[in-house]
Amino acid sequence: MKATKQKKTKFLLALIIFSLVGQIAWVVENMYFNVFIYKMFHASPADISAMVMASAVAATVTTLIMGALSDKLGKRKVFMAGGYILWGISILSFAFIRTDTVGLLFPAATVSAVCVTLVIVMDCVMTFFGSTANDACFNAWLTDSTTHESRGAAEGINAMMPLVAILCVFGGFMGFDLNKSQSWTLIFILIGAVVTVIGIAGFFLIEEPHKKADG
């Protein structure tokens, strides 16, 4: 009885933190990356459109492929926890995409153009890890770990997290001056670190669901 209660507590904790932190990362990517690339590197509307399109394609393809792969291997825990760690590291990498640091590596290039290209490429890389860990494997883990009786409550918690994440991000961003590169550096370090730590915690919190028999 005690073991069952502990298992339910671990599942609920994993559900809340993985869902909330994942949604916070997506809110920042979906709503603020265009602000970042525009304010810091003077990206054109065409650049922003290219970033959005590339990210959308990466997310769609990744979710289909990695979801099927995790189904075949039956390793939700590794894909989720490991995916969140790599997702966090990829978010951290944006802290180093700055005109001063990139200018040292590409002194003869148009620094802003190089930074825009790097942001678009790394956005796709970040989306790959995020879609693998969250869109594909987290949602599959949620389904695998619940029964018909408990799934409604779990899905209800998961469904409200995007709204909670928007409130967290909008409230948190009010304390930053988004015209300063130092603010963006701190934002990416904080979010990247939190996502990485959650991924590490996942190895201890997540229970590998038993594969349900067909039929």
CB of 190 closer than 8 Å to CB of 201:
no
Closest to 140 measured CA to CA, from 204, 199, 79: 79
Structure tokens at 74: 């039956």
pLDDT tens for each residue of 144-202? 888 888 889 999 999 999 999 999 999 999 999 999 999 999 999 999 999 999 999 99
Residue type, 57: V
pLDDT tens for each residue of 73-87? 878 889 999 999 999
Whether residue 215 is predicted with pLDDT greater than 50 in this model: the reply is: no
pLDDT band at 39 (very low <50, low <70, confident <90, very high): very high
CB of 205 closer than 8 Å to CB of 13:
yes
Distance CA 83, CA 77 (A): 9
Q: Which long-range contacts (CB under 8 A, 24 or more apart) does 151-156 make?
A: 154/15
User: Whole-prediction pTM value?
Assistant: 0.90
Give the whole-number percent of the chain exceeding pLDDT 70. 95
Across 104-122, average pLDDT: 87
Residue type, 166: I
∠ Cα 195 36 97 (to 5°) = 70
Whether residue 213 is predicted with pLDDT greater than 60 in this model: the reply is: no
Q: Tally the C-alpha atoms within 13 A of residue 26's C-alpha that lie toward its C-beta.
A: 22
Can you point out the beta strands (E) in the chain? none
